[in-house]
Structure 1
Amino acid sequence: MRMRIAVYHNLHSGGALRTLTEQVRRLSARHDLSLFALATAAPVETEGVKARVFPFHPGPELRRPFGRLNRAARAADLIRLARVNRAVARAIDGGGFDVVLVHPCQFSQAPSLLQHLRTPSVYYCHEPPRRLYEPPIPRPYLRRSSLRGVLDRVDPALRFHRALLRRIDRGATRAATRVLVNSRFTQANVRRIYGVAAHVCRHGVDADRFRPLGLRRDRFVLSVGALTPYKGFDLLIEGLGRLPEAARPPLRLICNYVEPQERAYLENLAQERGVSLEIEVGVSDENLIRAYNRAALVAYTPHREPLGLVPLEAMACETPVVGVDEGGVQETILHGRTGLRVPRDPHALAEAIGDLLEYPERARAMGQAGRRWVLDAWDWEGAVQGLVAHLEEAARTQNTERRTQNAERET
């Protein structure tokens, strides 16, 4: 069945945007698709797709001594954003679409748009917002003074902003006709936080782009992701620091986003542990693929990652992966076949990395098995077929409910 599909997002760059781009590209080949986005959204580079961009920009960040007013300013942003999303919902509802595919918003996670749509909606929840539902990852630079702690507890703007974020995120998620997630791990989190029965709809990997290039492997460890505490790069530095100095490989980080305090913390930690660290920002996909192909291995150490495209992209390039044995990583790395999963412990991580560096034939065999695993289980064709089935079911279910309600009113 050919459908008229509206797609909404307000994502920044990263794995979620790459997933959205592939979905849009492949859905538009078989269905009539229109894209709706805010001006703050990263562009989706897909030919032949109509795009309508709605103006929205958050207010400026205030500096000391007015920093505490930022929470009030961000709450005001959310209120303005809700008005914009109501306008987007009216435009979509007036467009005669069969269903809306909704991706997250960089400001509220679940977009408030979902609460205003009359058109059937499918929300692809990449993950619940951790800052609302999980404690922060400990960092020396996050230690608060006793005075700041007291102020945070009594600051009405801080409490209001956080409460507003939770209300929007929970209300919007529960308003969706159907919620999709990327892993069983995220599925369990969504049920726990929202009380919603989500459906697992896996990502795919473009194995035609992420592929072996026949390049010579260099003796460095690669990791990829936003430079934030959640990505756990400090564990990777600690692990490499426990390898003998003569056998210690350099570490290369490729990041789409950098938190300045986290960068300074990691650079200082690397210097203390004797780890050669290189951080690159804004790397093109082409150079990312070359980096996957040149690395001896990819190490992936995030905290409770919902899925993680990085291990899959690395394996598609025949690069073995060492990852922490938690979160969605348990669903992507086949331990002992396509890579190694280890506990969150620097000694265990060092041992696994050292093993693959010492035995390159084993690493090569794991890389080859990893590409076969991606081709068999993570191809985009199968992923989009599953997505289409969910879109059709959402449209069919809600339209059936409306016909039933109309019939009841008539009687």
Structure 2
Amino acid sequence: MEPPIVLFVHPDLGIGGAERLVVDAALALKSRGCDVRMWTAHYDLKHCFSETKDSGIPIRCCGDWLPRSLMGRCHALCAYIRMIFLALYIVFLSGETFDVVFCDQVSACIPFFKWTRKPKKILFYCHFPDQLLTQRISALKRIYRTPIDWLEEKTTGMADCILVNSHFTANVFKQTFASLSHREIYVLYPSLNISKFECNVFEDLSNIVPMKRKHVFLSVNRYERKKNLDLALKAFCDLRDRLNMLEWEKVHLIIAGGYDERVKENVEHFQELHDLTAQLGIGDHVTFLRSFSDEQKLNLLYNCICVLYTPSNEHFGIVPIEAMYMRSPVIAVNSGGPLESVVNNVTGYLCQPQPHEFCDAMERFVKNPSLKITMGKAGHARVLETFSFEAFSTQIYHHICKLTQCK
């Protein structure tokens, strides 16, 4: 049997955890001989993963003229409309031929691949139920979300195979989508494309932090309020009160985050964090970075003494995996995906999302810098064992083959 043709359909091929997984999945299937194509509603060469530029995988964009929101509201509705338009274009106008559709984030496109003369097999990857990513603080918002939530559950259930990124997400999925509790859900951990992390030459951080700052803590996350970046700043402020003057002059914090000027929250939260840093009086010891390159990220992960991962109930979180592979320990909130990736007291520390608990863990690295070596080594070994690209590639290819054999 010839290798299957896999069509990836994704709402916005930018820089984020979901996009990272989609790109890795496409590369994994291509490495197995599959014919892979990618379609998206938005693709910007200035704001994307480098692999999308030189992988040889064709990427086509359609529907970017449709609005992303209506006067800053109705983001979910607009995302559904954009994906439905994209699906209709692919089915009726693109001339594409394919065996399997890999889609994620927005399930509204699924029916349009099923309701054709030749229905396609669908693999849906659920990063997290969309209806749990928004608040319903008014009656109007609840009314608005009711049909969208219903549509999400119904269209997700139309997929032939459903994958999730962690056991945590699998449990949330079944609790959220009651009508799908009988479905078999498979866990496919995001992987690390190790070839992109191989580097033998690293620069120091003297171009962004003073030379005397030997202990650099690093936070890597998008500038979104749900990422709880305030926690890193407040914990770092508490650390100042734990250290003597000489020790304090040796520490520094870098907040590095994905930043898109099109996203209002990115712009607002970046300024909020700057203001909080000034209020806490730690501005001289904090550096903010926006939308850095892959090479810069590797350099940051290599040189930092520890990575601070602050989101609560994160669906999975690829940053701890990247950090551990680069032999950087991780201090993370003890909920969600990090419970499955970070081994407490071995590859880092799992803490309550309280500044004093994060500060306790941070102080250990300052007082005992050798922890960076011992925990870093353990983290590197854990990634190779559990989150390798080879294991990821084998599993996703297996699921694709099962679908094509059932045709």
Question: Counterpart amino acid of 1:244?
Answer: R
How far did 1:236 drift?
1.4
Instruction: Measure the CA separation in 2 of the matches of 1:126 and 1:174.
Output: 15
The answer for the alignment partner of 1:133 in structure 2 is 132
Are 2:102 and 1:101 equivalent residues in the alignment? Answer: yes
Is the counterpart of residue 324 in structure 1 residue 333 in structure 2?
A: yes
Alignment of structure 1 residues 230-309 onto 2, 5 Å: 230-245=226-241, 246=245, 247-248=247-248, 249-257=251-259, 259-275=266-282, 276-309=285-318
Paired AA for residue 107 in structure 2: P
Farther off after superposition, 39-48 or 338-347: 39-48
**How do 1:8-407 and structure 2 match up within 5 A?**
8-11=9-12, 12-41=14-43, 44-59=52-67, 67=71, 71=73, 75=77, 78-79=80-81, 81-90=83-92, 95-104=96-105, 110-117=106-113, 118-129=119-130, 132-133=131-132, 136=135, 152-153=138-139, 155=140, 158=141, 161-195=144-178, 196=180, 197-211=184-198, 213=200, 215=202, 218-245=214-241, 246=245, 247-248=247-248, 249-257=251-259, 259-275=266-282, 276-397=285-406, 399=407
CA contact (8 A) 1:321 1:333 kept: yes
Distance, in Å, in 1 between the alignment partners of 2:368 and 2:199 is 20
Q: How far apart are residue 46 of structure 1 and its match?
A: 4.4
Q: Match for residue 141 of structure 1?
A: none
The 1:355/1:178 distance shift into structure 2, 3 A limit, reads same
Q: Deviation string for 1:287-314 (max 9, x for gaps)?
A: 1100111111111010211111101101
**Do the aligned partners of residues 114 and 225 (structure 1) sit closer, same or farther apart at CA in structure 2, a change above 3 Å counting?**
same
Q: What does residue 7 of structure 2 align with?
A: 6
Flag the 1:214–1:376 CA change in 2: closer, same or farther, 3 A.
farther
CA distance in 1, matches of 2:81, 2:339: 39
Letter in 2 for 1:38: T
What TM-score does the superposition give when structure 2 sets the normalisation length? 0.82
- C-alpha separation between the residues in 1 aligned to 2:399 and 2:362? 40
Deviation at 1:269, TM superposition (A): 2.0
Structure 1 window deviating more from structure 2 (237-246 vs 340-349): it is: 237-246
User: Are the structure 2 counterparts of residues 229 and 112 from structure 1 closer, same or farther at C-alpha, using a change threshold of 3 Å?
Assistant: same
1:209 aligned counterpart, secondary structure: helix
Deviation, 1:59, is: 2.8
Q: Is the 8 A contact 1:357 1:363 kept in 2?
A: no
- TM-score, normalised with respect to structure 1: 0.81
Task: Return the alpha-carbon distance in structure 2 between the equivalents of residues 72 and 7 of structure 1.
Answer: 25
Q: Displacement, 1:337? A: 1.1
2:328 and 2:78 map into 1 onto residues whose CA distance is 46
Relative to structure 1, the CA distance from residue 77 to residue 208 in structure 2 (aligned partners, 3 Å threshold; closer, same or farther) is: closer
Is the 8 Å Cα contact of residues 221 and 295 (structure 1) preserved in structure 2?
yes
Equivalent residue, structure 2, for 1:409: none
Please give the alpha-carbon distance, in whole angstroms, between the structure 2 residues aligned to 1:199 and 1:376.
Answer: 19
In structure 2, how many angstroms separate the alpha carbons of the residues matched to 1:291 and 1:25?
A: 25
The SS at the match of 2:157 is helix
Query: 1:351/1:24 Cα in 2 relative to 1: closer, same or farther (>3 Å)?
Result: same
Asked whether the equivalents of residues 205 and 380 of structure 1 are also in contact (C-alpha less than 8 Å), the reply is: yes
Aligned pair in 2 of structure 1 residues 136, 233: CA closer, same or farther (>3 Å)? farther
CA RMSD in angstroms, aligned pairs only: 2.7
CA distance in 1, matches of 2:112, 2:222: 32
Q: Please give the alpha-carbon distance, in whole angstroms, between the structure 2 residues aligned to 1:336 and 1:60.
A: 43
- Cα 1:342–1:73 shift into 2, 3 Å: closer
Deviations 1:208-252 (A, max 9, x none): 332575756842110111111111111111111111343443221
Structure 2 gap ranges (5+) = 114-118, 206-213, 260-264
Q: What CA deviation, in whole Å up to 9, does each residue of 1:37-88 have, x standing for no partner? A: 23414563343323333233233767xxxx5xx5479746744642332232
Give the SS at the match of 1:208.
helix
CA distance in 2, matches of 1:185, 1:389: 22
- Whole-angstrom CA distance in 2 between matches of 1:358 and 1:213: 28
